[in-house]
Structure 1
Amino acid sequence: MSSCSSADSAASSSYSSSKEQSENEERQTWSWLELPRDVTAAILLKLGAVEILTSAQSVCSSWWSICKDPTMWRAIDTHNWGNVFNLPYNLEIICRHAVDRSCGQLVDINVEHFCTDDLLKYITDSTSHLRRLRLFFCYDISDEGLCKVVGKLPLLEELDISIGTITKDALEVIGQNCPKLKSLKFNMKDSRCSHIESDDEALAIARTMPELCHLQLFGNKLTNTGLCAILDSCSHLESLDLRHCFNLNLEGPLGKRCTEQIKDLRRPNELINDYPFCALMGDSGLFYIDNLLGFSDRDFLSDVDYQDDLYAFLDGSDFSDNVSYYFDPDTYY
């Protein structure tokens, strides 16, 4: 009897424990679904447009309703790590759906790697309130395409058109049509080995963007002439990033002027550890570093020289110690 009683007691205890666990899980599930709508919306916004449209919105009717709300789409982020060819969905179609859901309320959009002239036109036709536009690594956006739409961006304050095909012609049109522009990122592959000099972009910026407060020109070919023009015209500049602008000489009076006039100055030879587009990590290790840092002329360097250059651009530690640092998602995006 004692043995049976003990077994019954154990079975009862196990059942109670299992029932309690089940009830706890049920309470946790209901507590998640019963979150206030604005809290759930804030959580979903952390996912980004692609994740919301391809998965999150289908979880339940409550999330579907929230994901249809135009206020969810005032800012659209279509980050994609640059892998636009092997995805199970079409990023341009997803982006158009996201823009449609904003119902004209779009103010901030990040369309990197895959934006085209047609998609950019679709975006700018859909809103007149855009304040932030990021078109990093969009080689399918042309001067002509960009010039056709900037007239619809009178409220634009921040623009990133780094690493693409945009020239000084489009920069001038942007400056003429976007009087509220405060921040410009116009980064490119640096020309460390080619020694080509050009002040075209710098002079276009100086002529048409006097209200700039923040300017990043990583790898630009400008000389002291172009820099002086920017300093003369853009009197509100607070930050200026000139890293890898190796045609500049800031050792004399110009360097002193930059230090006195600019609160946050990044000089040509400063470290690039915090620059987000240094390299990507692939199956075989670190690659694209030639491409993104602009070492298209690597063939002109010996292997020793090449390693020395990389060593100099890091923080002085061994190259192998920095490989994992170069692909930190929190830094990259």
Structure 2
Amino acid sequence: MLSTVKTVIVTEPSIPTVASSSVLHRLPPLPSWTELPDDLTANILQRLHTEEILVTAQEVCSTWWRVCKNPNMWRIMDLDHEHCRRYGLKEFKNICRCAVDLSQGKLVELKLTGLAVDLSINYATERSSQLRCLTLSESQIMGYVLPEAIKKLPRLEELHLCVMLIPNPTDLETIGISCPMLKSFTYRNHWVVNLDVSEHVVAIGKTMPNLHHLQPCGKWIENRGLEAILDGCPHLESLDLGRCKGLDMQGALVKRCFEQIKDLRLRPVSPPSISYQDGDYDSDSSYYDIYSSSDSDEENDSIHYEYN
């Protein structure tokens, strides 16, 4: 007797019956995305670029509009001119001013990127006296604009500059005097070659006594510049001189660096058998990280760095 074989044909899901529909009706409805807590909505919106929030997001619904009007939404701001090119320079300036106005003085961290920064920096600092961290990246700022803008930031603790025009030593003294709480200072310049920053770091040593972290970028620095930093910045924990030539790191000076600074980054020594081009040192991969340790004084004193 032959066995009966059942053929099963897979079809599209069946249409829900009245009984199954009643089960679905008993499930609690999913919450609307407009009913999320305001702090969670703000957290989501803050992942957008500032101009996207102002131009698009706040126009989506009344909930997002309300959240975007809260000053706490604008405590941290990152404005990049590259993202606003389709709006033009005037529109970029207006976007920055609108965002600063919405912060109502609660802005604590600001990053401005692009060539149009000088159009907005004064307006931002005039209305943001509580600012703690300022970053100006890939910016071309006139020499007189920067110190005048930073004069208005007495609570500033971090200043990071990646600018095309180097502040002169007098400007750095003005910044140091105006910002007595400054703990971290970074200066980078990728456009000026063979830059001697000896006078600049001397100015830093004179006027920034509370620095914990310092990264000056230049092609040349003399020993007197390093000594001024060690004398004037007793709280310094990290010092990055990885792009600087000119130091004669021997004996007492190198010993003092190890004793005073926990994290010291120096230009690497050229092995005698290898001829390095000057540009080879500009890549971050060529840095040596040198940390202060519990080694004996004799071991530290015997370290000798040569600079070509």
TM score, norm. by length of structure 2: 0.74
Question: 1:86 deviation in Å?
Answer: 4.3
Task: Report Cα offsets for 1:285-323 as digits up to 9, x if no partner.
Answer: xxxxxxxxxxxxxxxxxxx9769927975369xxxxxxx
Does residue 1:208 correspond to 2:225, yes or no?
Answer: no
Between Structure 1 and Structure 2, which shows a larger proportion of strand residues? Answer: 2
Report the counterpart of residue 309 of structure 1 in structure 2.
280
Structure 1 residues 269 and 79: alpha-carbon distance in aligned structure 2, compared to 1, 3 A threshold? farther
Aligned residues: 266
Report the counterpart of residue 164 of structure 2 in structure 1.
164
Report the counterpart of residue 128 of structure 1 in structure 2.
129
Question: 1:220 deviation in Å?
Answer: 4.8
Superposed, 1:30-109 pairs within 5 Å as 30-79=31-80, 83=82, 86-88=85-87, 90-109=91-110
Equivalent residues of 1:250, 1:256 under 8 A apart: no
Inter-partner Cα distance in structure 2 for 1:250 and 1:46? 46
Greater mean alpha carbon deviation, residues 209-218 or residues 162-171:
162-171
Extract structure 1 runs of 4+ deviating beyond 6 A: 304-308
Report the counterpart of residue 181 of structure 1 in structure 2.
182
Question: 1:84 deviation in Å?
Answer: 6.5
Report the counterpart of residue 152 of structure 2 in structure 1.
152
Greater mean alpha carbon deviation, residues 48-57 or residues 258-267:
48-57
Greater mean alpha carbon deviation, residues 118-127 or residues 222-231:
118-127
3-state SS, counterpart of residue 113 of structure 2: coil
Inter-partner Cα distance in structure 1 for 2:41 and 2:83? 29
Inter-partner Cα distance in structure 1 for 2:92 and 2:67? 22
Question: 1:155 deviation in Å?
Answer: 0.8
Inter-partner Cα distance in structure 1 for 2:283 and 2:116? 34
Does residue 1:267 correspond to 2:239, yes or no?
Answer: no
Inter-partner Cα distance in structure 1 for 2:16 and 2:277? 68
Report the counterpart of residue 111 of structure 1 in structure 2.
112
3-state SS, counterpart of residue 185 of structure 2: strand
- Give the counterpart letter for 2:280 in structure 1: D
- Give the counterpart letter for 1:15 in structure 2: I
- Give the counterpart letter for 2:51 in structure 1: V
Inter-partner Cα distance in structure 2 for 1:308 and 1:144? 31
Does residue 1:226 correspond to 2:225, yes or no?
Answer: yes
Task: Report Cα offsets for 1:78-134 as digits up to 9, x if no partner.
Answer: 145xx3684345332211111111112212110122344442211122122111111
Structure 1 residues 86 and 126: alpha-carbon distance in aligned structure 2, compared to 1, 3 A threshold? closer
Structure 1 residues 217 and 158: alpha-carbon distance in aligned structure 2, compared to 1, 3 A threshold? same
Inter-partner Cα distance in structure 2 for 1:312 and 1:94? 36
Residue identity over aligned pairs, in percent, reads 40
Inter-partner Cα distance in structure 2 for 1:86 and 1:42? 26
Equivalent residues of 1:171, 1:204 under 8 A apart: yes
- Give the counterpart letter for 1:207 in structure 2: K
Structure 1 residues 102 and 85: alpha-carbon distance in aligned structure 2, compared to 1, 3 A threshold? closer
Unaligned ranges ≥5, structure 2: 1-7, 270-274, 288-308
Question: 1:252 deviation in Å?
Answer: 3.8
Report the counterpart of residue 280 of structure 1 in structure 2.
none
* The structure with more radius of gyration: 2
Inter-partner Cα distance in structure 1 for 2:233 and 2:121? 28
Inter-partner Cα distance in structure 1 for 2:173 and 2:283? 35
Task: Report Cα offsets for 1:209-247 as digits up to 9, x if no partner.
Answer: 111111111335322110111011100001111111122
- Give the counterpart letter for 2:212 in structure 1: C
Inter-partner Cα distance in structure 1 for 2:154 and 2:212? 17
Inter-partner Cα distance in structure 1 for 2:279 and 2:151? 46
Superposed, 1:2-13 pairs within 5 Å as 13=13
Structure 1 residues 307 and 178: alpha-carbon distance in aligned structure 2, compared to 1, 3 A threshold? closer
Report the counterpart of residue 4 of structure 2 in structure 1.
none
Unaligned ranges ≥5, structure 1: 1-5, 271-303, 317-333
Structure 1 residues 199 and 70: alpha-carbon distance in aligned structure 2, compared to 1, 3 A threshold? same
TM score, norm. by length of structure 1: 0.69
Question: 1:150 deviation in Å?
Answer: 2.8
Task: Report Cα offsets for 1:40-82 as digits up to 9, x if no partner.
Answer: 11122222312322332233221121111111011111145xx
Structure 1 residues 168 and 14: alpha-carbon distance in aligned structure 2, compared to 1, 3 A threshold? farther
Inter-partner Cα distance in structure 1 for 2:96 and 2:111? 10
